[in-house]
Amino acid sequence: MRRTRSLELAVALGLDAMLGDPPDRWHPVAWFGRAASVLERRYWRDDRRVGALVAGALVVGGTLVGAVIDRVPGGALASAWVALGGAGLRRRALDVARALDDGDLEQARAWLGWLVGRDRDGLDATEIARATIESVAENTVDAVLGPMVWHVALGSMGSIALRAVNTLDAMVGHRNARFERFGWFAARLDDLVMAPPRRLAIALAAPSHRRLLPAARSHPSPNAGPMEALVAAAVGVRLGGVNRYGDAVVELPVLDGGPPPDAAAIRRAVRWSRSVTLGTLAFLAVAEQAANAAVGRAP
């Protein structure tokens, strides 16, 4: 009987919804992050080639681990589960929304720290809601659609390698003095591997939800920009503006999908994330069955 990776994904999404992420001490992504941190501290140089070698070694290592896991009974299902991060993302976003409902900006900023790396001190309710929705948009493709697409394409190798690339980009793919050169390869690799899930999300989106995509072309991230444009139109809010990261100030294009966001808009963004996930799963299941049927008919 032919293995069905989309069925593995459906079960993994159910596990993610019921159980969430494993604790960090048992989570392979956390293990990978610690290993990457050790290598970064040991081998850091202000050099693109060194950064590419370190990132390449880590991603190849993760891919080989995925190849081994794929051959272990139940390993592919387990790898799909730990690669997915949608339930935790949505749970934290709703935590922020509840804190905003209660008028507790300090608690809302604390929950927001689980989602974003930008400075949170002094953010008002509107800016907290904006940051939360932008995180839901970006991480829906990074932590959900990306692992789904690559798991169906390559099994455990694909989902684990994808999360390895995501993790490296989050750690070193920054435009600052330390990582401008060292993290260049990791950032470009993340842009490359996230292109298929991003394009699939755009293709599956309702035409009215694509209306802000032209405004996202000036966004510094080819992945985050389009996803934020989709959610701004789908939820009906205004996203973008100025973000601060320490001494760095980043001005993003304004995606004017409606009024400034609030707690209710966060909840709509969470529903959008769920619907995009289910729509992608349905598409991947149909595509996989069609591919399997075509292979079965081949001489």
d(CA 76, CA 147): 12
Q: How many CB atoms lie within 10 A of CB 226?
A: 24
Section 76-95 average pLDDT: 94
More confident residue, 251 or 28: 251
Nearest to 192 by CA among 56, 83, 33: 56
Judged on CB neighbours under 10 Å (0-12, 13-18, 19+), 61 is middle
The partner residues of 256 in beta bridges, in order of sequence, read 238
Specify the pLDDT at position 32: 87
Query: What is the distance between the alpha carbons of residues 161 and 158, in angstroms, rounded to a whole number?
Result: 5
Cα-to-chain-centroid distance, residue 264: 22
Minimum mean pLDDT range among 64-78, 100-114, 257-271 = 64-78
Give the integer Cα–Cα distance in Å for 71 and 224: 34
What's the pLDDT score for residue 25?
Answer: 74
Find the range with the poorest average confidence among 63-72, 243-252, 264-273: 243-252
Q: Quote the pLDDT of residue 1.
A: 42
Q: Nearest Cα to 225, choosing from 246, 261, 195?
A: 195
The upper half-sphere exposure of residue 139, i.e. CA atoms within 13 Å in the direction of its Cβ, equals: 25
295 band by pLDDT with thresholds 50, 70 and 90 = confident
Q: Give the residue from 219, 222, 206 showing the smallest Cα distance to 272.
A: 206
Say what the pLDDT of residue 298 is: 52
Task: Domain ranges for the chain, please list them.
Answer: 5-288
pLDDT of residue 177: 81
pLDDT-derived band at 174 (thresholds 50, 70, 90) equals confident
pLDDT in tens, 116-161: 989 999 999 999 999 999 999 999 999 999 999 999 999 999 999 9
CB atoms within 10 A of CB 282: 13
Residues 6+ apart with CB under 8 A from 107: 99
Q: Which residues of 113-132 are buried (b: 16+ CB within 10 A; e: fewer)?
A: eebbebebeebebbbbbbbb
- Global pTM reads 0.92
pLDDT band at 297 (very low <50, low <70, confident <90, very high): low
Where do the DSSP E strands lie in the chain? Answer: 238-239, 242-245, 248-251, 255-256
Q: Examine the pLDDT at 115 and tell me if it is beyond 90.
A: yes
